[in-house]
Amino acid sequence: MKPALIAAILALAFTIHAQQTDTAQTPEHEHAAMMQRGNQGMGFSQEKTTHHFRLLQDGGAIEVSANDPKDAASRDQIRAHLAHIAQMFAAGNFSIPMFVHDTTPPGVPTMRKLRGQIRYRYQETRSGGRVDIRTQDPQALQAVHQFLRFQIAEHHTGDSTQMTR
């Protein structure tokens, strides 16, 4: 191959890679990709539902609700997902949030390690469900709060990152 042709191919490859990298790095693109993975990993539309994450003195909560009170399909999908999440988290399995966020969320390694010190309880709500996360262990509590703060930021919920009662 001629050096000029090799240089042209390399320049084109570099330009394409740079364009893909630039697109993949934008916050809007990253959030849209996370929402798409959320649709797959959670089994319900992220656009038809609302997430909330609460930091409490003894842990926190994950709440998801259907935006339309008449949307029984989303409500039921939320309930099935959150009941499953409570079981998975209790077993130290955080594969769904790792898939959705395409990374290991902060706090997860410690939550896995100290899973015996953390209680997860699922409960239905009128329009979805809630997973209560409770611990008396200070290290586990810090990890739970790291995990929930990450969720607040990633899902753009606007929830408080401070503890409430």
Which is more confidently placed, 17 or 72?
72
Model pLDDT, residue 5 = 55
The pLDDT value recorded for residue 29 is: 78
User: How do residues 20-45 score in pLDDT, each as one tens digit?
Assistant: 544 456 778 788 887 888 778 788 88
Q: What is the DSSP string of 4-33?
A: HHHHHHHHHHHHHHHHHHHHHHSHHHHHHH
Which two three-digit tokens encode residue 10? 């390399």
Helix (H) or strand (E) holding 51: strand 49-56
User: Residue 12 pLDDT more than 80?
Assistant: no
53-108 per-position pLDDT tens digit: 999 999 999 999 999 999 999 999 999 999 999 999 999 999 989 888 788 999 99
- Give CA–CA dist 69/60, Å, rounded: 25
Q: What is the pLDDT of residue 126?
A: 96
